[in-house]
Structure 1
Amino acid sequence: MLQPSRTKFRKAHKGRIKGKATRGAALNFGSHGLQALEPERVTSRQIEAARVALTRHMQRKGRVWLRIFPNIPVSKKPIEVRMGKGKGSPEFWVYRVKPGRVIFEIDGVSDTVAKESFDRAASKLPIKTKIIKRNLNL
């Protein structure tokens, strides 16, 4: 599972996801990409499930780039604990995805394999996505 090796602060506020992505909104590495269309917190488990589905369908051909990393801790209080007594301990890690952010990029596979792979990966994520392709106008 993805999680940072160390952070400056142990716990984080929930926060809100506002606006569109300005960074990471274009393809940088691969020829095809999976782009988010709505704001949501994506957990490290969801990212890993999508990555496994993507690489399994590609059958280890081509190359995959993961463009997001879960760096925000989400805390939870144990079950059947009364109110008060402080904030719970960190349980899992998330990444706040903004609309327009590229989540995965792949290269070295055909258009049909890329589309089917991204469809499988997108089914593991809690957000609507679209497949984008690099323009090769040289």
Structure 2
Amino acid sequence: MALMPRRVKHRKHQRGRIKGNANRGNTVAYGDFGLQALEPGYVTARTIEAGRIAINQYIRGEGKLYIRIFPHKPVTARPLETRMGKGKGDPDHWVAVVKPGTVMFEVLGVSKEAARDCFARVSYKLPIKVRLVERRPVI
């Protein structure tokens, strides 16, 4: 089952623009290694689920996965072969708005090489460029 909000204030959103870099959620907070976005984009709920499955298959219970993004934004679509007009379409799927610098996934309890291989698998499934980041030491 794909991720989606339980209830929303408004059923349909306008598209908007993704401006600037992420100033929240841009550091590794829960795990040891994270997957950070390098460009803006929309990540669908299906893509997040595909990434979750790929990471869980790789770490096999020896580590822990944290998903730091959630699809809050509805994307609408018109039925195929429908004439213009007659209003906006119904919600089709849900997306997470990702700004450059957002940490999307984190893993805990795995080595750096394992995290690199794991996130390399996930990066093929994502529509944006990403990189591996480490937790900064607390001083």
- Using the size of structure 2 for normalisation, the TM-score is 0.96
Give the aligned residue type for 1:34.
Answer: L
What SS is found at the alignment partner of 2:125?
coil
1:36 to partner: Cα distance: 0.1
* Alignment partners' CA distance in 2, 1:131 and 1:37: 10
Hey, what does 1:133 align to over in structure 2? Answer: 134
Give the aligned residue type for 1:96.
Answer: V
1:137 to partner: Cα distance: 6.1
1:135 to partner: Cα distance: 3.1
Q: How many residues align?
A: 138
Give the aligned residue type for 1:91.
Answer: D
1:124 to partner: Cα distance: 0.7
- Using the size of structure 1 for normalisation, the TM-score is 0.97
- Root-mean-square deviation (CA, aligned residues, Å) is 0.9
Identity %: 49
What residue ranges of structure 1 are gaps of 5+ in the alignment? none
Hey, what does 2:75 align to over in structure 1? Answer: 74
* Alignment partners' CA distance in 1, 2:104 and 2:136: 18
* Alignment partners' CA distance in 2, 1:28 and 1:85: 46
Hey, what does 1:62 align to over in structure 2? Answer: 63
1:55 to partner: Cα distance: 1.1
Aligned structure 1 segments of 4 or more residues deviating by more than 2 angstroms: 135-138
